[in-house]
Amino acid sequence: MERLEPGMVIDSFRLEEKLHKGGMALLWRVRRIDAGGSSEGSEGSPPLMMKIPIVGDHNDPAAIVGFEVEQMIMPKLTGIHVPHFVASGDFTGQPYIVMEEIAGKSLRARFDAAPLPIEEVVATAVRVATALHDLHRQNVIHLDLKPSNIMFRETGEAILIDYGLARHDKLPDLLAEEFRLPMGTGPYISPEQVLHIRNDPRSDLFALGVLMYHLATGERPYGFPTSVSGLRRRLYRDPVPPRALNPKIPEWLQEIILRCLEVNPNKRHDTAAQLAFELQHPEQVQLTARARKRVRDGFWTVTRRWFRAAGMEPVPQQSASTQLARAPIIMVAIDLAHGSEALAEALRVAARRVLQTEPGARLACVTVQKTNRLGMDEYVDKAGRNIHVKHLVGLKHWARPLSIPPEKITFHVLEAPDPAAAIVEYANGNAVDHIVIGSRGSSAFRRYLGSVSSQVVAAADCTVTVVKSTGSSINGAGKQPVTPAPLRQAADEQEATTH
């Protein structure tokens, strides 16, 4: 490879400053130039960065293949959680990838200060889980999630970088085709990656569990193994419970961390969105023996696990897109006002039908306690009962006939002056995939002002099903209508979210 110097031009990019030299690649700040050799744009144009692989006689072939993988995947990625791709050059000339230059530091800078305050651990994990969900929705599994591959925009969003070990559902997996050793960074490799399984998005949740563990305790749950035998220990040896290292960690956070670190991916959260959801609603995390664990498992438990691990073979897994499709977050907006029983039953029937087709779904039951835009609000009703608590009890009463396992359902009372805006904000903030909402009968007044359900249909970024107690339902996101079973006729139909 020709020696690179500032001022050199590669295709239509001029090298300006070397930013970093790693073991696999060089990073340069570059500027695009026009055909006459002058720099394009102005001082206000976004800076660009060029990644150039280090190619030589002694370089790991996997690094070269990984660079090819990154060249394939990055042009397919969009959104705020990934670097914006600009251009690339292949190995017939000078290989490179040009992308936006991201200001700021990686998450690696915070690890030296661990253990961090619990609030910061949770906030960081929510942002990373949100970025992972966005990535998985684009059919990509990162498979090398670690502190140095996580950066943050000035507006706070996490950015996932370095796709050399990633897997795209719709593209050839060159690494799996050419290599048989586990690929990744020792502390963060999931058990299934150790077994050469590269198509399960929950592998990224395991890595995020390792990140949370380290940020909360200052220790790595599995050390820093450098051999395959060292990596295989995580198939049978459990980590020290986080609260044994840092008693400030709440039980609900230990529950989440240890669930992420389960050997069997089926025991982890189904999706990154569901993980982010739990992190944002700790009061509704279902605590198990994981939350109360204080010591590692005993000799005989570990020995039995070791024998099982010795015979483990790779098992075909579902793709990222399939896994997300089978585990959506469903939000049901419920009206708890007197006289809306028929509509509540209609919503129950619609929710049951959705859940029958989506067995891995999580159900979020939501109602809106409307508040005044100005002035004081009443917090108790005429009988002296707390209104918020009364609504929460009402939601649980509504859901009881559905017989949903407690770990698959949550209840939320939103307090806001604008019910439609509150529902949409909740849905967007919690990566909701499908909103089921009720609609009362039409009227000239409602047509003029717009109903809550119609406002939700117009503003939501996900599928919206509008249910009426006459037995019909309207899908507001362009998919086929979902028609519930025959429903009880209501004398006075009510909106699903005005209370």
Query: Top-level CATH class of 9-100?
Result: alpha beta
Pair of tokens at residue 35: 């055909």
What pLDDT is stored for residue 70 in this prediction? 95
3-class SS at 183? coil
Q: What is the mean pLDDT of residues 290-316?
A: 85
| Domain definitions of the chain by residue range | 9-100, 108-323, 328-475
Percent of the chain with pLDDT over 70: 84
What is the mean predicted confidence (pLDDT) over 313-339?
Answer: 77
d(CA 396, CA 310) in angstroms, rounded, equals: 45
Spatial distance between the Cα atoms of 429 and 423, rounded to a whole number of angstroms: 10
Q: The pTM is what?
A: 0.85
Q: How far apart are CA 291 and CA 251, in angstroms?
A: 5
- Note if the bond before 316 is cis, omega within 30 degrees: no
Q: How far apart are CA 342 and CA 347, in angstroms?
A: 9
**Among 88-97, 249-258, 378-387, 459-468, which stretch is predicted with the lowest mean pLDDT?**
378-387
Whether pLDDT at 334 is above 80: yes
Distance CA 17, CA 22 (A): 15
What's the rounded mean pLDDT across residues 208-231? 95
H helix or E strand, kind and range, residue 437: strand 434-438
Confidence of residue 43 (pLDDT cuts 50, 70, 90): low
- Is there a contact between 417 and 373 (Cβ–Cβ < 8 Å)? yes
- For helices 419-429 and 452-459, the axis angle rounded to 10 degrees is 30
Give the CA-trace dihedral at 464, 469, 471, 474, to 10 degrees.
Answer: -20
The correct CATH number of 328-475 out of 3.40.50.10490, 3.40.50.620, 3.40.50.300, 3.40.50.970 is: 3.40.50.620
Q: Give the model's pLDDT for residue 332.
A: 94
Euclidean distance between CA atoms 78 and 147, whole angstroms: 21
Sign of the dihedral defined by the CA atoms of residues 15, 18, 19, 24, in that order: positive
Say which CATH class 108-323 falls into: mainly alpha
Average pLDDT over residues 23-47: 73
Please say whether the beta carbons of 198 and 183 come within 8 A: yes
Q: Is the pLDDT of residue 487 over 60?
A: no
Q: Out of 6-15, 382-391, 406-415, which region has the weakest mean confidence (pLDDT)?
A: 382-391
Could you report the per-residue pLDDT of 105-152, keeping only the tens digit for each? 889 989 989 999 999 999 999 999 999 999 999 999 999 999 999 999
Q: In residues, how long is the chain?
A: 499
Report how far residue 309's alpha carbon sits from residue 406's, in angstroms, rounded to the nearest whole number: 31
The answer, yes or no, to whether residue 40 has pLDDT greater than 90, is: no
Query: Strand, helix or coil at 59?
Result: coil
pLDDT, position 59: 58
Judge whether residue 445 has pLDDT over 90.
no
The answer to whether residue 425 scores a pLDDT higher than 80 is yes
pLDDT score, position 472: 47
344/330: higher pLDDT: 330
